[in-house]
Amino acid sequence: MSTKCKYCGSSSYGAGCSRSPHKKHEHVGDEKKCIFCGSQSYGVGCPHSPTKKHEHGQGGERCIYCGSKSLGAGCPHSPNRTHQR
């Protein structure tokens, strides 16, 4: 599934989005991929995320930050340490 940046409609990832508050493209339409780089990875290592952590699109059954099916506290990668979907 091909997604587009939520700010400018581009299919590019990374820097270069003039409409984004952090100047990076965000693809929020796919819960299986990082919104900043398109990787299927979770946790640290995203070269384009402002926090350097992968963040997946919402709408799935897993935490967007770590991939766990858990709910509530305990996410090691979420800014507020809670699992989010």
Hey, which bits of the chain come out as E strands? 43-44, 53-54, 72-73, 82-83
User: Which residues, 6+ apart, have CB-to-CB distance to 40 below 8 Å?
Assistant: 32, 33, 34
Considering the chain, what percentage of its residues have pLDDT values greater than 90? Answer: 87
Domains of the chain by residue range: 1-60
Name the pTM for this structure. 0.88
Mean pLDDT of the chain, nearest integer: 94
Written as six digits, the tokens of 9 are: 């409609």
Q: What is the rounded average pLDDT of the residues 18-38?
A: 94
Q: What is the pLDDT of residues 33-74, one digit of tens each?
A: 999 999 999 999 999 999 999 999 988 899 999 999 999 999
Looking only at the bridges linking them, the beta strands covering 72-73 and 82-83 are antiparallel
Q: Please give the torsion angle defined by the CA atoms of residues 25, 31, 32 and 34, in that order, rounded to the nearest 10 degrees.
A: 30
Assign 1 a pLDDT band (cuts: 50, 70, 90). Answer: low
